[in-house]
Structure 1
Amino acid sequence: MMMLKLKINLLLLLLLSIAIAKAQTNTYKFKRDITGVNSVWHSMKLPDQLYKNANAGFEDLRIFGINGKDTIEVPYLLKQRAYKVNTKESAFKRINQSSNPNGYYYTFQSDATNTINQINLSFKQGNFDWQVTLEGSNDNQTWFSILKDYRILSIKNDDTDYQFTKLSFPDSKYQYFRVALKSPVQPELLEAKISKTDTIKGTYQDVKYKTFDIKNDATIKETVIDVVLENPVPLSYLKLNAQSDFDFYRSIKIEYVTDSFKTDKGIQYNYANLYEGTISSLEKPEYHFENTITSRLKITVQNNDNKPLRLSGLELKGNVYEIIARFDNPKYTYALYYGNEKATSPSYEIEKFESKIPADLTSVTIGHEQHNPAYSIIAEKPLFENKAWLWVLMAVIIALLGWFSFKMLRN
């Protein structure tokens, strides 16, 4: 008898532990097993197929470890290696302005010998097309060439307001810099900003598109490109292959689909802006924007009265999302859970101590998506499931109304 009671208690304990484990994971529709956990800290790359069913802001990502009756939640950091540009301006002063038959010259002196790689010029003129030569010197006598026949341009009219007056060059360390402009008129230089720009390229993965459809609309003078991807994935970089027989500068807008709806004319899409700017023969047609998960893009090029550009494809990339997690006990069985629309972002202490996380982390494997067997939906039952209750309720209401009406008439 004692042995039977012991078995019953063990069975009840097992059922209770399973119920507790399910209570923590039963609000997530999907799970992916995590294998290869053999130390405390690990990293893992989110698979592309996960983005379709996870929340857009990843609020629902959870890692749970289960070992018999115990269920633990694994703290993690979600990181993305994004493209970043850091610009640091250098102090300087304009010490000379002169001209000769070859052009107009502006000389700048740095307060200290700093390394720079960019000079932004601003002019009072609104329309110009000039050639620039940039030189550097440490004694203001012997000059060394940095840029030669570099073109700057400004066009301002009713249709266009475009400027390209940024001098970009390899890192240079001189005390003096001299800008020479070849212009038929006296340039009116309003401002010059000298700076050092450092670019962190980020970690990208190539994104393949399914279809690339170009439509040239002569009525509204636009070229619209619809790009459909295989699956929703992160995007943060686009390079458009554009050619023309002449120089060009046109407005460009990049949008991503947010949702869709059915109409009599078929499926229609709602879009939100990713990028607005200019596509020009003077600059590389490369565009960086915030990492955004989408499955469809729309690119609009405003042609005005010009011939449409020859567009022959594009290159897409997205920043990789990576999880850095702390597994306190390798003996547990771990899985990644997601698919809970009501989930809020977790708050873990490890984000306050990120500097203590080891630099070299081994990767673990995230398995294939599967439906979470513990997932359950608590359906809110209607107050009255039986129609008879509705008839009874209506009868009571009618009786009360009749009684109050009779009482008022008698008075």
Structure 2
Amino acid sequence: MRLQINLVLTFVLLTISSSYGQMESYEYKRELIGVQDQWHKIVIPKTMFGTLSRKLTDIRIYGITKNNDTIEAPYILQKLKDHTSIKNNEFKIINTSHTDTGYFYTFEVSSANPVNQMDLDFGQQNYDWQLQLEGSNNQQEWFTIIDDYRIVSIKNELTDFTFDKLSFPSSKYNYYRLQVDSKTDPDLQKVSIQQQNIVEGSLQDYAIKYQNSLENKQTKQTEISIELEHAVPVSFLKITPNAAFDYYRPVSIQYVSDSTLVGLKWKFHFNTLTSGVLNSNGNNEFKAVSTTTKKLKIHIHNQDNQPLDINSIQVKGYAHELITRITEPATYYLTYGHKNANQPRYDIAKFKESIPSEIKTIKLGDEIIIEKAEATSTSPLFENKLWLWGIMIILILVLGGFSFKMIKQK
């Protein structure tokens, strides 16, 4: 009876171990060229994203030893995005006054740390004001930091848009004086004075293969269709209108998430990538969660206004890199192309502080299609998790039956 139990266990374990983690279950591979040290950095090529799963969970690094054994090397996937740190400065408002030209607020900063940003919150709505910011160390001599800085608020049943953040070159003063060009009390309710430091990531430009603009008079929208050279992770768009007048247009940006063949034509299904406002007061840069796609559609809501002439559109995304640790001699390959692969879990993700700061970047070889053995041309029985759970339930029932039988005999 014990022999029967051991045979069942051995069968299940062998089945599970042979069903997962095999290079042959992936579609493509690229050789790692120049493996010498323990730690290596690999930059994922733009052309590779089209064959990766959307969540990038199907990347594996396998090594083939001299004895033809397969080993797996752990890695960490990094997206080289911006890192922002904000340090708030303590302050107090020591003076509030107004004249015929506007309202004035004087702030005393408790530390002499540099600042480069102010967040303002006014009780008034629907405003369009010019601001002036000055700095002083003794309140006798004032120096202009920014002049004719415009802030805007538009709030109605259709729109809720506010631009009230001041950004300026880093400055270090004991006192700051803000002038708001308003004839009525702006009702300043909240202020934060801070130093914002941005460590810029590595943005890559994506070439646009096709672009077409259409004016939809029924919906009062400008619809811009974009097709990129490759399917890539998009996280940034910059739209530059060619307009000499003020404008304010809500914008929604969509990406193709799926497609269906209907007859002889493909029907594309769109999801929202990001949204915002195209306006003459901003930089018209739109950031989004990194999403792999090849086709985009931009909707500019013109309402009853003249459509904008779009001068240019830039599409970008953050570079992705792998940090891998290799400890055994072998010929290593980056394998990918398995839509149902789960996110791997490696110990090195918990010990990032142990990773060296200086790591050599190695190159990847050309993409190679992984040949499938004839014996494994059909999908493994346990590639589907339902089959795995089924065999586990059967195992439990068999073991339970054996145990019950042994107890009954005793």
The bucket for the TM-score relative to the shorter chain is 0.7 to 0.9
CA offsets per residue over residues 152-198 of structure 1, 9 Å max, x none? Answer: 22222333322221111011111211101222223221222222222
Aligned twin of 2:286:
287
**Stretches of structure 2 lacking an aligned partner (at least 5 in a row):** 1-17, 382-410
Moved over 3 A (4+): 263-266, 374-381
1:49 corresponds, among 37, 47, 50, to 47
Q: TM-score, normalised by structure 2?
A: 0.83
CA shift at 1:102, angstroms? Answer: 3.0
Change (3 A) 1:380 1:179: closer
CA contact (8 A) 1:25 1:374 kept: no
Correspondence 1:146-157 to 2 at 5 A: 146-157=145-156
Correspondence 1:217-228 to 2 at 5 A: 217-228=216-227
Aligned twin of 1:32:
30
Q: Distance in 2 between matches of 1:185 and 1:354?
A: 55
User: Which residue identity lines up with residue 351 of structure 1 in the other structure?
Assistant: A
**Stretches of structure 1 lacking an aligned partner (at least 5 in a row):** 1-19, 382-411
Correspondence 1:365-404 to 2 at 5 A: 365-374=363-372, 376-379=376-379
Task: State the identity %.
Answer: 37
SS of residue in 2 equivalent to 1:26: helix
User: Which residue identity lines up with residue 224 of structure 1 in the other structure?
Assistant: E
CA offsets per residue over residues 327-348 of structure 1, 9 Å max, x none? Answer: 213x411111112233211111
Q: Distance in 1 between matches of 2:335 and 2:92?
A: 58
CA contact (8 A) 2:206 2:229 kept: no
Aligned twin of 1:233:
232
Q: CA RMSD in A?
A: 2.1
Change (3 A) 1:335 1:132: same
Q: Distance in 2 between matches of 1:125 and 1:264?
A: 56
CA shift at 1:313, angstroms? Answer: 2.4
User: Which residue identity lines up with residue 351 of structure 2 in the other structure?
Assistant: F
Q: TM-score, normalised by structure 1?
A: 0.83
SS of residue in 1 equivalent to 2:348: helix
Aligned twin of 2:248:
249
Aligned twin of 1:395:
none
Q: Distance in 1 between matches of 2:296 and 2:118?
A: 34
CA shift at 1:68, angstroms? Answer: 2.8
CA offsets per residue over residues 222-260 of structure 1, 9 Å max, x none? Answer: 111111012111111111121223101111111111101
Greater alpha carbon shift after TM alignment, 83-92 vs 253-262:
83-92
CA shift at 1:105, angstroms? Answer: 0.5
SS of residue in 1 equivalent to 2:138: coil
Change (3 A) 1:377 1:340: farther
CA offsets per residue over residues 120-147 of structure 1, 9 Å max, x none? Answer: 2222221222211101112222211101
Q: Distance in 1 between matches of 2:274 and 2:196?
A: 21
Which has the greater radius of gyration?
Answer: 1
CA contact (8 A) 2:75 2:348 kept: yes
Q: Distance in 2 between matches of 1:45 and 1:264?
A: 40
1:347 corresponds, among 315, 337, 345, to 345
Change (3 A) 1:265 1:250: farther
Aligned twin of 2:326:
327
**Is 1:92 matched up with 2:73?**
no
Number of aligned residue pairs: give it: 361
Change (3 A) 1:295 1:121: same
Correspondence 1:80-229 to 2 at 5 A: 80-229=79-228
Q: Distance in 2 between matches of 1:288 and 1:218?
A: 28
1:363 corresponds, among 361, 383, 400, to 361
Aligned twin of 1:409:
none
CA contact (8 A) 2:253 2:297 kept: yes
Correspondence 1:3-82 to 2 at 5 A: 24-69=22-67, 70-82=69-81
